[in-house]
C-alpha cells in the first residue's frame, strides 16, 4: 500500500467537535477538513458508528479520513449516542433513535459554514447498514452513499438469522456489543466521564435477548430493511463486499434494484479493500473519491461508464483456514442479473451430480464419481436413478441424520479478526453429510448464486438443512465454494412459519450465497447436505431424520474469463497511526473432545493485544473468548459461552470491563444469563446480572 503524505489541500483535525441534538444530547465527532474550508466550503463525508473513534477505529481512520480531507472533503467520524465520547445510552442497533440522530447530524453538518451543503455517508458493516437506512429516510443534504459489507434485508442476511435458522452469531455479536458499549469515555475528553460511564452501564441492553424475541420476519426486521422499498433510496449508492465476508449478497441485490448503483466484490474478509486480506487489494480510496467527486461536487469522473458490477473471479484453491492471497482475475458485468450467465442444472442421483446437458467432461474423458456420504451413519442411499419427469432426480431414497457437531469446518460466520477463521477442509463435515459428486469437469466459472432444489420429508415437525457446494480436488481435499441453510418450518414464508407434517413429502429451495469461483479442469463439484451445522447454527430441539427423494442443483455458469476485464489502481492511504505495542495480539481456534462425556467444544481465543496511541496517549486493548459446546447425539446439549475483557488506561488510571454471556436451551425455551462488571484498577465499582428466557418459535 502506497502512503500518501502530500495532498492538494492542507488538513487540520479536531478530535472532539460537539454536535448537540435537539434533545440536548451531545455527540462527539472527530473531524478532518481542509484548513481553508471556512473560506472555501467543501462537501462532507459522515461515518456514524458505535465503535469508538478514540480507540476503536483509530487505526483505519488514520488511513482513510485524512486522505479524503486532503482531496477537499470534511470527514466526520461521529460516535453514536451511548458510545465512545458521546452522551446518552444506546437502545438497539439501527433503532429509530439512531437513524433520527443521523438525519439530525446530517442537517447540522450541511448548515455549517465550512460545508458546501452536500453530504455523503460511508461505512463498513454497522456504518454500511445505517448509511443505506438513513438514505432511505431521504435527508435532503445526503446525496451519495458508499456502503461496504452491509445488507438490504436485516432478517435474511445479517448476524441473527440465515434461511430462517438461528445463527450462533446472534449470541456472539450480541456479546461483543455487550462488551463494546460497556466502556467509558476517554477521561481526557470529559470531566464527567465517570457519571456517563455509570449511566451507560446501568442502561445498556443485553441485545441477544431482544433480537431473539423476533424469530419471524416481523415489523422489527422490516424496519431498516431497504429491500422493502428500494425506490426510497434516492442517494447514489456504491456497494462493496468481499467473498471472504458474510455480507456478500447485498452488492448484487443493490445493483439489481437501484438504477445507477455500482458494485465491487473482491476476495476480502470484513475489511476496507485498501488494507483488506486476502490480497489483491485495490485503490478503494481512489474509487470512492471518484464517487464523491461526481455526486457531491458535480465533477465528471466517468463513474457512470464504469461496469455496473466488478467481481473478483477467484481461482479454485486448496482449503485453508487463512489465505494471504487469492489468485484470480477481475470480471465485469454491465448489469445484474447478467444476460451472459446461464444456468446449468445438475440432477441429484445416488451419490452423483449429473448435468442435464450431459456431463461436461474434462479433456481425457469423464469418470463416474463413487457414491459418497454416509460417514458415521449420517446418510443411507438406496434405489436406482430411473426416469425423471419432475427434474428433481427422483427414483432414489437418501435417509439423512447428521450428528450435531457436523459443521466444525465451517469457519467463522463473519471473518474479521484476521485469525484462522476461514472454512477448512470440508472432508470431516462431508463424512457426516449426504454427498453428491460430479465427475471430473471442464474448467467452470461459477458466477452468481447457486441454489439447490430438493424433495424431502421429515420424521419431525421441525428440522433444518445445510447445503454446501464444494470443490473436490483430485486427492480428495474439499474446499467450500459457497453455502446456504434453511429452517424447514420457514420453507414457504419467513414471516408465517408452518410445521412439517412428519412423513409428508415437500419441495424446497435452498439459495446459496453469491460467489465468483473458477473450478479447475479435471476437478469435481460436490453438493453436501446435512441436518446440522454447528457451531454456525443453533440446533432444532429434536434431531430429525430427513428422507431425500429428489433434487437438482441450479449452477450459474459464465463463459470463461480470459483475463482482467476491469482494472483498479493500487491501494493508497494516508500515513498510518503512530502507536506503541504494549502487548502483541494472538488468535486461537481449537477443538476439544471430552473423552468421558463425548461433548465437543470449539474454543476461540482472540487476544487483540494492547497499544498506546502516540497522538494522545490512551492505551486500549481487549480479549474475546468463546466456547461452543455440543454432544453429537443431543441437540439440547448446545451451549454458547462468551467472555470479553476491555481495557483503557491513561495516566495510571486503568478502567476495565468484564462481560459474560451464556446461552442454552431446552425443548421449549432459550435461556440466557449474562453478567457485566466494571473495574477501576483492582476495585469492582459496578456489577449487574441478567437472566432471561425466550420461548422457541419453531426455531
Query: Does residue 671 lie within any of the structural domains?
Result: yes
pLDDT at 371 > cutoff 50: no
598 alpha carbon, distance to own chain's centre: 32
What pLDDT score was predicted for residue 356?
81
pLDDT tier at 366 (50, 70, 90 boundaries)?
very low
Regarding whether 465 and 398 lie in a shared domain, the answer is: yes
What cell does 471 get?
Answer: 470443490
Same domain, 22 and 146: yes
Average pLDDT estimate for 204-224:
97
Range in 129-133, 377-381, 382-386, 527-531 the model is least confident about: 382-386
Q: What is the pLDDT of residues 532-590, one digit of tens each?
A: 999 999 999 999 999 999 999 999 999 999 999 999 999 999 999 999 999 999 999 99
Indicate whether 431 belongs to any domain.
yes
Number of domains in the chain: 3
Q: Where are the beta strands (DSSP E) in 429-535?
A: 434-437, 444-448, 451-458, 464-472, 478-487, 506-511, 515-519, 524-530
Q: Are residues 550 and 599 in the same domain?
A: no
For residue 251, pLDDT beyond 50: yes
- Note the pLDDT of residue 309: 98
Report DSSP state, residue 133: H
In a domain, residue 213? The reply is: no
Instruction: State yes or no: cis peptide before 110, omega within 30 of 0.
Output: no
**Which helix (H) or strand (E) is 586 found in, with range?**
strand 586-593
Return the beta strands (E) in 334-449 as ranges.
342-349, 352-355, 379-382, 397-400, 434-437, 444-448
Rounded Cα distance between 86 and 97, Å, is 14
pLDDT at 463 over 60: yes
Same domain, 542 and 645: no
Structural domain including 410 reads 342-558
User: Could you tell me if 23 and 146 lie in one domain?
Assistant: yes
d(CA 666, CA 656): 34
Based on the domain organization, do 532 and 661 belong to the same domain?
Answer: no
pLDDT at residue 245 is higher than 70: yes
Shared-domain flag, residues 501 and 588: no
Over residues 420-428, the mean pLDDT reads: 96
* Nearest to 541, CA basis, from 598, 479, 489, 610: 489
pLDDT of 6: 96
| Residue 548 and residue 602 in one domain | no
pLDDT, tens digit, 9 for 90 and up, residues 144-169: 999 999 999 999 999 999 999 999 99
Same domain flag for 509 and 599: no
C-alpha cell at 642: 462468551
DSSP state of 351: T
Q: What is d(CA 627, CA 60) in angstroms, rounded to the nearest whole number?
A: 29
Among 169-173, 348-352, 373-377, top mean pLDDT goes to 169-173
CA distances from 97 to 79, 104, 203 (A): 14, 10, 15
With a cut of 80, say whether residue 423 has pLDDT above it.
yes
What CATH number should be reported for the domain holding residue 96?
3.40.50.1820
Give percent of the chain above pLDDT 90.
Answer: 93
Residue 464 CB coordination number (10 Å): 26
Single out the residue of 422, 416, 472, 538 nearest to residue 169, CA to CA. Answer: 538
The overall average pLDDT reported for the chain is: 94
Q: Is pLDDT above 70 for 383? A: no
Can you give the pLDDT at residue 579? 97
Residue holding cell 432414489? 396
Does 316 have pLDDT greater than 80? yes
User: Phi, psi at residue 452, to the nearest 5°?
Assistant: -120, 125
- Label residue 29 by pLDDT band (50, 70, 90): very high
Measured between alpha carbons, how far is 337 from 120 in angstroms, rounded to an integer?
Answer: 27
Above pLDDT 70, what percent of the chain? 95
Domain end residue (candidates: 184, 212, 238): 238
Residues 6 or more apart whose CB falls under 8 angstroms from that of 415 comprise 244, 245, 246, 269, 270, 421, 422
- pLDDT of residue 103 exceeding 70: yes
Quick check: is 266 in a domain?
no
Q: Residue 382's pLDDT is what? A: 53
Query: pLDDT tier at 394 (50, 70, 90 boundaries)?
Result: low
Q: What is the mean pLDDT of residues 112-125?
A: 98
The DSSP code for 482 is E
- Give residue for cell 458546501: 116
Residues 178, 674 contacting (CB under 8 angstroms): yes
> Residues near 103 by Cβ (< 8 Å), separated by ≥ 6?
134, 137, 139
Query: Is residue 493 one of the residues assigned to a domain?
Result: yes
634 and 505 in one domain? no
- Say whether pLDDT at 195 is over 80: yes
| Same-domain check for residues 410 and 458 | yes
Radius of gyration of the chain (CA): 25
d(CA 231, CA 450): 27
Decide if pLDDT at 372 tops 90: no
Instruction: List CB contacts of 191: < 8 A, sequence separation 6 or more.
Output: none
- Cell numbers at residue 227, please? 429491500
What does the pLDDT read at residue 350? 87
**pLDDT tier for residue 59 given thresholds of 50, 70 and 90:** very high
pLDDT of residue 361: 43
* DSSP helix/strand/coil, 327: coil
Contacts by 337-341 with C-beta closer than 8 Å and gap 24+? 337/256, 337/448, 338/309, 338/447, 338/448, 338/558, 340/558, 340/559, 341/447, 341/448, 341/556, 341/557, 341/558
Q: Are residues 594 and 539 in the same domain?
A: no
- The CATH code of the domain that includes 388 is 2.60.120.260
The x, y and z cell numbers of residue 325, run together, are: 492471497
Burial of 694 (0-12, 13-18, 19+ CB in 10 A): buried
Residue 6 domain flag: yes
Predicted local distance difference test score (pLDDT) of residue 391: 64
- pLDDT, residue 364, reads 33
**Looking at residue 475, what is its pLDDT?**
97
Last residue of a domain, one of 510, 528, 558: 558
Question: What are the Cα distances from residue 237, in Å, to 122, 135, 142, 554?
Answer: 10, 9, 11, 30
Is the pLDDT confidence value at 17 over 60? yes
Amino acid at each position: 500500500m502506497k502512503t500518501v503524505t502530500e495532498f492538494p489541500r492542507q488538513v487540520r483535525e479536531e478530535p472532539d467537535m460537539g454536535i448537540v441534538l435537539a434533545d440536548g444530547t451531545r455527540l462527539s465527532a472527530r473531524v478532518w477538513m481542509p484548513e481553508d474550508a471556512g473560506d472555501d466550503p467543501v462537501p462532507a463525508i459522515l461515518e456514524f458508528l458505535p465503535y469508538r473513534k478514540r480507540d476503536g477505529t483509530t487505526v483505519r481512520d488514520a488511513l482513510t479520513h485524512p486522505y479524503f480531507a486532503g482531496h477537499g472533503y470534511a470527514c466526520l467520524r461521529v460516535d453514536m449516542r451511548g458510545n465512545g465520547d458521546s452522551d446518552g445510552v444506546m437502545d438497539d442497533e439501527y433503532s429509530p433513535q439512531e437513524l433520527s440522530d443521523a438525519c439530525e447530524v446530517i442537517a447540522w453538518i450541511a448548515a455549517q459554514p465550512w460545508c458546501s451543503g452536500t453530504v455523503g455517508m460511508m461505512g463498513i458493516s454497522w456504518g454500511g447498514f445505517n448509511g443505506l437506512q438513513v438514505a432511505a429516510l431521504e435527508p435532503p443534504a445526503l446525496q451519495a452513499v458508499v456502503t461496504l459489507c452491509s445488507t438490504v434485508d436485516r432478517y435474511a442476511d445479517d448476524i441473527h438469522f440465515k434461511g430462517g435458522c438461528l445463527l450462533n452469531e446472534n449470541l456472539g455479536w450480541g456479546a461483543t456489543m455487550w462488551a463494546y458499549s460497556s466502556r467509558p469515555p476517554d477521561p481526557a475528553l470529559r470531566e464527567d466521564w465517570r457519571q456517563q460511564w455509570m449511566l451507560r452501564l446501568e442502561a445498556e441492553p443485553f441485545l441477544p435477548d431482544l433480537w431473539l424475541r423476533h424469530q419471524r420476519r416481523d415489523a422489527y426486521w422490516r424496519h431498516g430493511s431497504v429491500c422493502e422499498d428500494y425506490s426510497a433510496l434516492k442517494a447514489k449508492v456504491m456497494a462493496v463486499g468481499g467473498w471472504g465476508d458474510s455480507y456478500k449478497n447485498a452488492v448484487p441485490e443493490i445493483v439489481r434494484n437501484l438504477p445507477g448503483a455500482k458494485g465491487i466484490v473482491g476476495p476480502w474478509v470484513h475489511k476496507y479493500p485498501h488494507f483488506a486480506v486476502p490480497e489483491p487489494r485495490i485503490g478503494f480510496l481512489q474509487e470512492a473519491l471518484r464517487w464523491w467527486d461526481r455526486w457531491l461536487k458535480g465533477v465528471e469522473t466517468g463513474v457512470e461508464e464504469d461496469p455496473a458490477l466488478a467481481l473478483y473471479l477467484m481461482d479454485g484453491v486448496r482449503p485453508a483456514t487463512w489465505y494471504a492471497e487469492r489468485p484470480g482475475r477481475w470480471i465485469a458485468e454491465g448489469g445484474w442479473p447478467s444476460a451472459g450467465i446461464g444456468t446449468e442444472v445438475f440432477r441429484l442421483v445416488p451419490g452423483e451430480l449429473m448435468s442435464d446437458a450431459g456431463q461436461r467432461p474434462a479433456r481425457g474423458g469423464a469418470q463416474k464419481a463413487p457414491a459418497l456420504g454416509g460417514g458415521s451413519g449420517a446418510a443411507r442411499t438406496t434405489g436406482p436413478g430411473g426416469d425423471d419427469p419432475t427434474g428433481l432426480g427422483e427414483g432414489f431414497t437418501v435417509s439423512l441424520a447428521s450428528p450435531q457437531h457436523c459443521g466444525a469446518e465451517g469457519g467463522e460466520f463473519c471473518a474479521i479478526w484476521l485469525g484462522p477463521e476461514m472454512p477448512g477442509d470440508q472432508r470431516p463435515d462431508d463424512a457426516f453429510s449426504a454427498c453428491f459428486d460430479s465427475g471430473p469437469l471442464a474448467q467452470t466459472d461459477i458466477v452468481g448464486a447457486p441454489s439447490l432444489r430438493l424433495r424431502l420429508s421429515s420424521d419431525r415437525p421441525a428440522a433444518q438443512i445445510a447445503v454446501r457446494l464444494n470443490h473436490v480436488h483430485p486427492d480428495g481435499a474439499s474446499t467450500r465454494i459457497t453455502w446456504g441453510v434453511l429452517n424447514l418450518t420457514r420453507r414457504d414464508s419467513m414471516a408465517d412459519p408452518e410445521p412439517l407434517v412428519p412423513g409428508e413429502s415437500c419441495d424446497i429451495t435452498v439459495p446459496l450465497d453469491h460467489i465468483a469461483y473458477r473450478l479447475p479442469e479435471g476437478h469435481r463439484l460436490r453438493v453436501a447436505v446435512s441436518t446440522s451445522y454447528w457451531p454456525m447454527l443453533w440446533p432444532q430441539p429434536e434431531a430429525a431424520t430427513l428422507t431425500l427423494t429428489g433434487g437438482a442443483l441450479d449452477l450459474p455458469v459464465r463463459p470463461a474469463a480470459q483475463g482482467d476485464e476491469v482494472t483498479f489502481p493500487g491501494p493508497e492511504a494516508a500515513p498510518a497511526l503512530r502507536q506503541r505495542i504494549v502487548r502483541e495480539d494472538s488468535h486461537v481456534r481449537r477443538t476439544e473432545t471430552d473423552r468421558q462425556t463425548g461433548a465437543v467444544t470449539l474454543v476461540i481465543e482472540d487476544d487483540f493485544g494492547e497499544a498506546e496511541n502516540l497522538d494522545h496517549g490512551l492505551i486500549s486493548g481487549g480479549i474475546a473468548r468463546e466456547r461452543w459446546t455440543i454432544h453429537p447425539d443431543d441437540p439440547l446439549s448446545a451451549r454458547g459461552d462468551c467472555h470479553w475483557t476491555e481495557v483503557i488506561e491513561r495516566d495510571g488510571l486503568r478502567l476495565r470491563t468484564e462481560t459474560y454471556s451464556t446461552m442454552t436451551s431446552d425443548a421449549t425455551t432459550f435461556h440466557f444469563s449474562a453478567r457485566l462488571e466494571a473495574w477501576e484498577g483492582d476495585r469492582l465499582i459496578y456489577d449487574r446480572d441478567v437472566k432471561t428466557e425466550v420461548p422457541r418459535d419453531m426455531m
